[in-house]
Chain A
Amino acid sequence: MDRDTIEHIVIPTGQVLVAVAIVPLIIAYLQLVERKVLGFMQVRLAPRRVGWHGLLQPIADALKLLIKEDTTPAMADRALFTMAPIITVIPALAALAVIPIAGQPFELFGYTINPWISDINVALLFLLAISSLGIYGIIVAGWASNSKYSMLGALRSSAQMISYEVPLGFALIGVMMLAGSASMVKIVEAQKSAGWWFVGPQLLGFFCYFISAVAETNRVPFDLPEAEAELVAGFHTEYSGMKFAFFFLAEYTNMIVVSSIVTILFFGGWLRPFPNIEALAWLENGWIFLVPLVAGASIGWLIDQRAGTGLRWMFAGGLAGAAAGAAIGVTDAFGLASAAIPALSGAFWFSLKVSFFLFMYIWFRGTYPRYRYDQLMGLGWKWLIPLSILNVVGTGLAVLLRA
């Protein structure tokens, strides 16, 4: 194979395979984290039977889903019933194609590899378009199941997703105006040259986007399509085994995509905190700070477990670790801070921020009750759409006055 073939076919294919292979693995453990965090919030023990503190639980779950009987209702539309989970999962995974996880390309076997699959100049529109295709899976699943619960769930879901797509799109326009581009990489670079994350000037846009995005992913408090108290499980009532797992995979992939978009558009993507302050440059190598913090907190937690002192030592250990990390960073002891690898530290900050927003999702689930249907529509049409349009007008005026 010549160099051209490798650069244009082999490397992109490899990137796609890596993304499609790693994301389900992340999702499996994200689900364990979700159960652990919810357990902590509800003062109960989360899974801890399979493996140490339940660490092998996701693998057991995946095996269970694989060998479970795959049933199709007798009166279902067989072809569409089988296609629906596939239609749901493909757009969710396709959205990963335009998400950059770091800013600098890295070298591997003499080839330059970008930490994104593609950087197109209509990336934001591509994301909106591809995520609007995800609705089909839900509608088709609800219709093909030939079940009242599925049908009602699908109807609710399509109405909800169409309504919240409008503020979602408007909330992105503000960022596009500030960055002057719809390419993800250019938007992050614009935040670097602007000297602050766009969450500052676009606070309203951020709130509108995040709320609409939670509604688009059908998560608590907007999980009406599968409201288990009213609709059994909504659109996926009739699904079992791997077909059910596909819906699950799509939902969690969408959560990861939404968290990544929030990170890129409003929280500086792979940039470190305060990208314009030179004195904090040591943060580029973020784990100098974070590794002592986590190590200190873990030691403190172990002491707490032995002595039964709540979480007192965990916080103390974390603080001590953070202070030690900051001291190493500022003084550049052992030359650790200046040894940063750009692609790695970019990926570090990116995944840290994405994890935070994924945690927010879980936090919402542990905190908020579900919206009623009319409240959901009222919030979308009477609050989010006017607010996001206001944000577009305000941002436009500000850009015009500063130019």
Chain B
Amino acid sequence: MNATAIVFYALAGLACASAFMVIWSRNVMHSALYLVPTFLSVAAIYVMLRAEFVAAVQVLVYAGGILVLFLFVIMLVNVKAVQGARLRLHGAVSGSIGAASIALLLSVYGRGRILAAAPDGGKLTEFGGNLETVGWVLYNEYLLPFEIASLFLLVAMVGAIVLARHKA
């Protein structure tokens, strides 16, 4: 095993272990905080794949934005009320869905599709880096889907504000 593989497996192991702790932990705050090492190790794996831009955005958006809002909400609601929840029907349903997704992922991995889709460095060097490449592809080949996605987000934002205003 070479050094790259060792680093990869260490990061992947950390990501999986802390993801496991997210659902295992009884304390909601601990649960949410265990997501941070998951996000960070996934970002580190992106760096290993020479996708620095995706790594930075992963940390910025997920760890720096979304999760902070999670914590914000957790601090505002009464945490004690949630702590007593037990595994019942919900647990069985979500558990089987999770098992099915893992089986699907493993079967794809077994067929070697992931390795076949490994990135080639040609385009990266052509544009001078990951940041430039992502920008070029996003605003040329995928301009329409990108704009539609941002429109969706805008609609969701307006919707949330409308809902919040009705309550008040």
- A residues with a Cβ closer than 8 A to B are 77, 80, 120-122, 125-126, 128-130, 132-133, 135-136, 139-140, 142-143, 151, 154-155, 158-159, 161-162, 165, 182
- B53 contact from A122, A130, A132, A154, Cβ within 8 A: A122
- A143 contact from B29, B68, B130, Cβ within 8 A: B29
| B28 CB, nearest partner CB in chain A, Å | 11
If A121-B52, A133-B64, A140-B33 touch, whether A155 touches B72 (CB-CB below 8 Å) is yes
| B29 CB, nearest partner CB in chain A, Å | 6
Other contacts beyond A80-B30, A136-B36, A139-B68: 7, CB < 8 A: A122-B129, A122-B130, A125-B131, A126-B52, A133-B36, A136-B68, A154-B75
CB of B71 closer than 8 Å to a CB of A: yes
The interface-forming segment of B12-20, B55-63, B98-106, B111-119 is B55-63
If A120-B52, A158-B72 touch, whether A132 touches B131 (CB-CB below 8 Å) is no
Interface size on B, as a range, is 20 to 34
| B24 CB, nearest partner CB in chain A, Å | 15
Q: 1/0 per residue B37-72: CB within 8 Å of A?
A: 000000000000000110011011001110011011
Report Cα–Cα, A158/B64, bound state, in Å.
10
| Residues 82 to 125 of chain B near chain A (Cβ within 8 Å) | none
- The reply to whether A125 and B53 form a contact with Cβ atoms under 8 Å apart is yes
- B residues with a Cβ closer than 8 A to A are 29-30, 33, 36, 52-53, 56-57, 59-60, 63-65, 68-69, 71-72, 75-76, 128-132
Q: In the complex, which residues of chain A have a beta carbon less than 8 angstroms from the beta carbon of B71?
A: 136, 139, 143, 158
If A143-B75, A182-B131 touch, whether A162 touches B65 (CB-CB below 8 Å) is yes
- B72 contact from A77, A129, A159, A182, Cβ within 8 A: A159
| A259 CB, nearest partner CB in chain B, Å | 21
Q: Pull 15 A–B residue pairs with CB atoms less than 8 Å apart, ordered by A.
A: A80-B30, A120-B52, A121-B129, A121-B132, A125-B53, A125-B131, A128-B64, A132-B59, A135-B64, A136-B36, A136-B68, A158-B68, A158-B71, A158-B72, A162-B68
User: B56: nearest residue on chain A (CB-CB)?
Assistant: A125
